[in-house]
Amino acid sequence: MNNNVIFVLLISLVLLPLYASAAASLGGWIPITNIKDPHVVHIGEFAVSEYNKQTKSGLKFDSVVSGESQVVSGLNYWLVVAADDSGTSKNYEAIVWEELWQRSMNLTSFTPLLKNNPEMNNNVIFVLLISLVLLPLYPSAAASLGGWIPITNMKDPHVVHIGEFAVSEYNKQTKSGLKFDSVVSSESQVVSGLNYWLVVAADDSRMSKNYEAIV
């Protein structure tokens, strides 16, 4: 691993104690009392922006109507967001996952709110059930929080999927045309979810090259 990976490890070790209390409340949805909090507003703006990118829509963020947060390998934010669609303000339900250590966000779900009450729909309940089912399956991973662990099977479907995601996201961000080839070597780290350090082989204009990625 190069200096960038070492830097990520050091940052993880520094920030880990700061979120010990957050880890203690793992799994519970907590209502957000101040929906005008700048950080909550930022989460809402991000949700609308990502939805526009993914669906090529033209929604404009208006406000956060209601919200809840959940500590599950970082923070899951469940929000009801008001946004303008062709001049009409509508409510949308969004789930955003924020990695506390990486300070990155991912839009998990963004759907129009069919009813005028801020209740979580079946998609949110499904996410909660999956979290509750999967959490007990990985106690050893939770116990090794912070340590990088070599991945022995580079052809594992999930590892391959992570590699494909890394190439795909790189292409989106840089407007490149790389094509995923294979995962050459990799490690995983339990730090607010799973950090994957990968060396990925990808085709660039028919030439296979190795790329280092942290996902």
Query: What's the pTM value of the predicted model, to 2 decimals?
Result: 0.39
Q: Show the beta-strand stretches assigned E in 127-206.
A: 148-150, 179-190, 194-204
- Sign of the four-CA dihedral 189, 190, 191, 194: positive
**Can you give the pLDDT at residue 30?**
81
Residue-wise pLDDT for 153-173, tens only, equals 767 786 666 666 666 666 675
Residue-wise pLDDT for 54-96, tens only, equals 878 788 888 888 888 866 565 666 666 667 667 777 777 766 6
Instruction: Give pLDDT tens digits along the chain (215 positions).
Output: 554 434 433 333 333 344 444 443 445 678 888 888 898 888 888 888 888 888 787 888 888 888 888 665 656 666 666 676 677 777 777 666 667 666 677 777 777 777 544 444 454 444 444 444 444 444 444 434 444 567 677 677 866 666 666 666 666 755 766 666 666 656 654 444 434 445 345 555 555 555 545 43
Classify 101 as helix, strand or coil: coil
Single-letter amino acid, residue 9: L
Classify 215 as helix, strand or coil: coil
Give 22-25's long-range contacts (Cβ < 8 A, gap of 24+): 22/71, 22/75, 22/100, 23/71, 25/71
C-alpha–C-alpha distance, residues 151 and 75, integer Å: 26
C-alpha–C-alpha distance, residues 167 and 173, integer Å: 10
Which of 140, 207, 118, 153 has the alpha carbon at shortest distance from 162?
A: 153
Q: Show the beta-strand stretches assigned E in 56-164.
A: 60-71, 75-85, 88-99, 104-112, 148-150
**Can you give the pLDDT at residue 6?**
41
Residue 29 C-beta-side C-alpha neighbours within 13 Å:
18
